[in-house]
Structure 1
Amino acid sequence: MNPTLPTLIPYQDHYPYVPVMVKRPLATFDPIAVAKIVHQMGNGFALTIDRHQRYSYFSFKPQRSLTGRQLAKHKRPANETLQAILNQYRTPRIQGLPPFTGGLIGYFGYEYIQQFVLKLHLKSPATADLDDLGLFLVTSVLVYDHRHHELGLTQLISTADLAATYAVTQTALTQQLAAIIEQLQQPIALPPFDLQQPLHMQADQATYARQVDRIRQHIYAGDIFQMIYANPCLGTMSGSLLAVYQQLQKTAAPYTCYFKQANFEMTVASPETLVTKDGEQIATYPLAGTRRRGRTPAEDQQLAHELQTSPKEIAEHNMLVDLGRNDLGQVAKFKSVRVTNLRRLIRYSQVMHLGSRVAAEVAPTTTALQVLAATFPAGTLAGAPKIEAMTLINHYEQVPRGAYGGCFGYLDCNGNLDMAIGIRLAYRMNEQLVIPAGAGIVADSIGAQEFKECQNKQRVIVNAVQDAKGRVKDGIIN
């Protein structure tokens, strides 16, 4: 339900802002149609679908655009600046509203860990013309409820003069929503997309395998137990990744996202949650252990059995479940950490994984940014022990990761968050296109197999890029 003025009045003495929402039935909805409208306006924006695939969120007309390099100019740590923004627009949690009604939406890059662990000195993403975060502050959110087939528009309003502001905002939102729905009926061409250079792996199989053997020596020496070693696929492009995002809409990934900020653009179809916070409930979802999907039902079942019974994959997964428990334990209430699912088989279009859920409870004063700090980056994208693995990643990987291995999603002004891990993605800065992926290296890893795992994980994105190239050029769908 939409919050009425009487239901909001009790909050005006305790919160600086409250969310207001209007909505209308909309039987069919195409997120690409909204993306095309905002892209045509020239605004940077983020679009994401939450873990349960119930809501699609669009950051309509952001209040502020925030980047890592921009925040680095401030005299205080980036986290403090972000928390100050969330405090400034603090809102109550109101039953019946979507999980995200306003706050920060976008991504935190892998190198953002240095904000949480000061002793880590990783390659600066600026050396690759990247940022360690890209966020929008949004006080108005366009949201589609896929369960009830409703399109809504939210607005955070000040409680200083709530009675007067409420009526004016309701009228304005109703008019804006009607205009948006009318625009959605108009055909708008996709922006052009084309590959200028064929995609290629950064390291060929022989080179990657040699590095895997070197990493294994660190494991034998006791430096680490496991490390995620990336091997991105590279190319050059022209146009926009919006056409690639359109292709990724066909996948069954829990999270999909399209993000554009100045000359940086990213599209994601991530299968893995980093962390969620809903009130005092927090959870993380380790996903580790991979096989490709079978070409036939029989082969698919055989590969699933192989994955579920592999001592290597089980040991690797259990290690990362323990790491997830330790991460949550940093902020959780005493003895509240628990594993509620262990090593479930999860199938996606190109690969299958083992997945678990680790949950806990936090104190009411624990912030979403504190929960993010405890779990970031995912152990499944770093290794174990996490800090030692990240130190070696910094040594062996040739370029900063940027969005890969970080997370994307939202931090709501009501204290909640939903962040997915930055995997199964493509990003571009200017003309440089990057499709990252990595493999978990353990003591008995075989270099050629780990090289293949990178390719398996990249396949859904590579296919989307190739399909988009074949269908869209100069804004025309072939």
Structure 2
Amino acid sequence: GLYGAFGYDLGFQFEDVERHQVRDDSHRDLVLYLPDQIFVSDHRLGETVCHSYEFVCRSWESSHLTETTGGLRRRGVKESYAPAIHCDRSTDHQPGEYADSVRQALGEFRQGNLFEVVPGQVFFEPCKDLPSDVFNRLKENNPAPYGALINLGEQEYLVAASPEMFVRVDGQRIETCPISGTIKRGEDAIDDAAQIRKLLNSAKDESELSMCTDVDRNDKARVCTPGSVKVVGRRQIEMYSRLIHTVDHVAGSLAPGFDALDGFLAHTWAVTVTGAPKHAAMQFIERHEKSPRRWYGGAIGFIGFNGNLNTGLTLRTMRIKNGIAEVRAGATLLIDSDPDSEEAETRLKASALLDAVKGKQAKPADTIDPMMQALRNRLEQLGGLQVLMIDHQDSFVHNLAGYFRQFGVELTTLRPALARQALARNRYDLVILSPGPARPADYAMSQSIDLCVRKKLPLFGVCLGLQGLVEYFGGELAVLDYPMHGKSSRVLVQGGVQLNGLGEHFEAGRYHSLYARRIPDCLQVVATSEDDVPMAVEHKSLPLMAVQFHPESILTLEGNAGLKLIANVVDYACSLKTKSETG
């Protein structure tokens, strides 16, 4: 088949767009190769197959096959890459200038001339490394389904990490996957989940994708059997190294008389890089962008001699020309757009490619948190921290223990009766009252607390542990109107040692039916839920503290709130140990 790149200007051959950009003599609309050797790798199976071809053909005037590649060299002249040391500018837009383009687009939307449009801006960076090295970095740090490295000759290269299928045809089936709707990746999986919820709940992002898919369906209606065009995937989530996208999947069946090239041309060019109505959007882009798009907004891929076709949209793609990397990035604008946010989105989209040019590597996943390292160092200086966890037959005690052990404490877990025996014999620097089902009295928790109080041991309770502490000092428990089992609540912080650095509020996971209805005078409430249920207490004079929520829960992972709380408890125990040892 034919492999290569299809330029954006191909669309002007059948869309009557008034030209405003200046095209120089180096501008090319199409570069396709007919390879005589292809390596096909199946990464799932871990296999690579080499296909080598010899071509037999004839001249136009001859009726016989007279020309062949048999015996000819498979390799042509090698041209070394010529890097650049510097470039004259970093972008073709000054800060705020792209936002001004957004404001001009908003005027077009209000007049009804446009529904959406996708203008871009270009970023420049000298590319000192080989394009293949840049591609390998990009592939490692920002993998994408349509990754590509294409040598176009004439010191021009494309390095792509495109997330979007343009047109794929297999037999009579034609498919596209329009992408629209974007949000930044979170710091971790929990933050990602919050970002995904925000993206899916965004009316603006839903409108973006809906308009794109309606135009895409219209493109297919030109060449598909009536009634065959279906949306087979709606607002599906796709995750990339720095971005989260919503994606639709649209498929249809080519009508008799149409082939893969007809399907390709019917979609030229994708609404996700132009806008709607498509002709008006392309005209806006031609007027307001500062240079011709060249390959951006076109396609890369192959046309098979068996009639199939597979192409990706040329976005998140850098063009390297004479050693200068050019990265064009756009944002989908519509009436709900915020100019400054859209400008920031273009910079975010370009950042992964620019970092690949600069040689930046992704942040290692196994770096040790500075807070954790500082506490570990302190524990080493103290000679360790001996911690006893009293297990009240809960299913989360090992998660909780794991949080404490991350800071280097030596933690022992025992059931209540054995724990009280250990308390009577041994010296501990901290005692933890674990969560658990039923009531504190079912575990004789008051006896455990009494031992800690008499020995003046620091004590930290979780869930049932808080309830036991409240009861021990004469408070009263009650049953919630509706159990909070595996539910998330906002915790409102009022102060307290254990909640230091957690801000005014945070989200936390709750697993309880009982709650502290009346708090004894010796305990101070340092946090509540939004419906005024005590979420954390501390004794006014003794080293005793507790939380009603579960710091170890997945529901308390946002912002590392649970781990920060445990760090505060460990730090507090360290301070008490230091104080006792220094007299």
Question: TM-score band, normalised by the shorter chain?
Answer: 0.5 to 0.7
Matched, 1:257 2:154: no
Verify the 8 A CA contact 1:193 1:243 in the aligned structure 2. Answer: no
Uncovered stretches (5+) of structure 1, i.e. residues with no partner: 1-102, 180-189, 471-478
SS of equivalent to 2:279: helix
In structure 2, the partner of 1:358 is 250
Pairwise CA distance, 1:354: 0.3
Find the counterpart in structure 1 of residue 24 from structure 2: 127
1:372 positional shift: 1.0
For 1:155, the aligned partner's letter is Y
Partners of 1:139 and 1:345 in 2: how far apart?
Answer: 38
Q: CA deviation at 1:298?
A: 2.8
Say whether the 8 Å CA contact 2:83–2:324 is kept in structure 1.
no
**Alignment deviations for residues 262-306 of structure 1 (CA, whole Å, 9 cap, x no partner):** 221110011000010011110111100001101233322221111
SS at match of 1:266: strand
Deviation at 1:367, TM superposition (A): 2.6
2-side partners of 1:342 and 1:135: how far apart?
Answer: 33
Q: How many residues align?
A: 347
Task: Give the match for residue 38 of structure 2.
Answer: 141
Asked if structure 1 preserves the Cα contact closer than 8 Å seen for 2:84 and 2:322, the reply is: no
Letter in 1 for 2:260: A
1:210 aligned residue: 100
> How far apart are residue 336 of structure 1 and its match?
0.7
Q: Percent identity?
A: 29
The one-letter code sitting in structure 2 at the alignment partner of 1:144 is S
Q: Which has the higher contact order (CA 8 A, sep 6+)?
A: 1
Distance 1:147 1:443, change over 3 A: same
- Find the residue that maps to 2:226 and give its secondary structure: coil
Cα distance per residue 1:315-335 (max 9 Å; x no partner)? 111111111100111110121
Query: Is residue 447 of structure 1 aligned with residue 345 of structure 2?
Result: no
2:136 to 214, 223, 246: 246
Pairwise CA distance, 1:464: 0.8
Instruction: Tell which deviates more after alignment, 354-363 or 120-129.
Output: 120-129
Give the one of 101, 104, 114 matched to 2:2: 104
Q: CA deviation digits over 1:418-471, x for unaligned, max 9?
A: 01000111112224321110011111211110011101111211111111799x
Partner of residue 315, structure 2: 423
Equivalent residue number for residue 5 of structure 1: none
User: Does 1:318 find its partner at 2:210?
Assistant: yes
Q: How far 1:134 sits from its partner (Å)?
A: 1.6
Offset at residue 136 of structure 1 (A): 1.3
Change in Cα spacing, 1:281 to 1:414, as seen in structure 2 (3 Å) is same
The amino acid of 2:357's aligned partner reads: V
Match of 1:345, SS state, is strand
Residue pairs, 1:112-191, within 5 angstroms: 112-117=10-15, 119-123=16-20, 126-127=23-24, 129-148=26-45, 149-155=47-53, 157-158=55-56
Q: Which residue of 2 aligns with 1:66?
A: none
TM-score relative to the length of structure 2: 0.56
Quick one: distance in 2 between partners of 1:277 and 1:454? Answer: 31
Gaps of 5+ in 2: 59-64, 363-583
Q: Which whole-Å CA distance do the structure 1 matches of 2:30 and 2:56 have between them?
A: 28
Amino acid corresponding to residue 134 of structure 1 in structure 2: V
1:263-274 matches, within 5 Å, as 263-274=155-166
TM-score under structure 1 normalisation?
0.67
Q: Residue 229 of structure 1 is aligned with which of 104, 119, 131?
A: 119
| Residue 354 (structure 2) aligns with | 462
Moved over 4 A (4+): 156-160, 190-195
**Aligned AA for 1:342?**
R
Q: What is the alpha-carbon distance in structure 2 between the residues aligned to residue 124 and residue 199 of structure 1?
A: 19
* Equivalent residues in 2 for 1:359-374, closer than 5 Å: 359-363=251-255, 365-374=257-266
Q: What amino acid is the match of 1:120?
A: V
**Deviation per residue, 1:330-375 (Å, 9 max, x gap):** 1101211000000011111110100011000013542322111101
1:197 offset after TM fit, Å?
A: 3.6
- Whole-angstrom distance in 2 between the partners of 1:122 and 1:353: 32
Separation in 2, partners of 1:135, 1:219: 38
Contact 1:205 1:448 in 2 (8 A): no
SS at match of 2:252: strand
Distance across 1 between alignment mates of 2:83 and 2:254: 45
1:196 paired with 2:86, answer: yes
- Following the alignment from structure 1 to structure 2, what is the Cα–Cα distance between the partners of residues 247 and 133? 27
CA distance in 1, matches of 2:318, 2:48: 30
CA deviation vs aligned residue, 1:97-146 (integer Å, no higher than 9, x gap): xxxxxx211111111101232x2234567338331222112344232233
**Conservation of the 8 A alpha-carbon contact between 1:195 and 1:469:** no
**Equivalent runs, 1:42-53 vs 2, <5 Å:** none
Residue 200 of structure 1 aligns with an amino acid whose one-letter code is S
1:199 positional shift: 6.9
Compare 247-256 and 385-394 and name the one that shifted more. Answer: 247-256
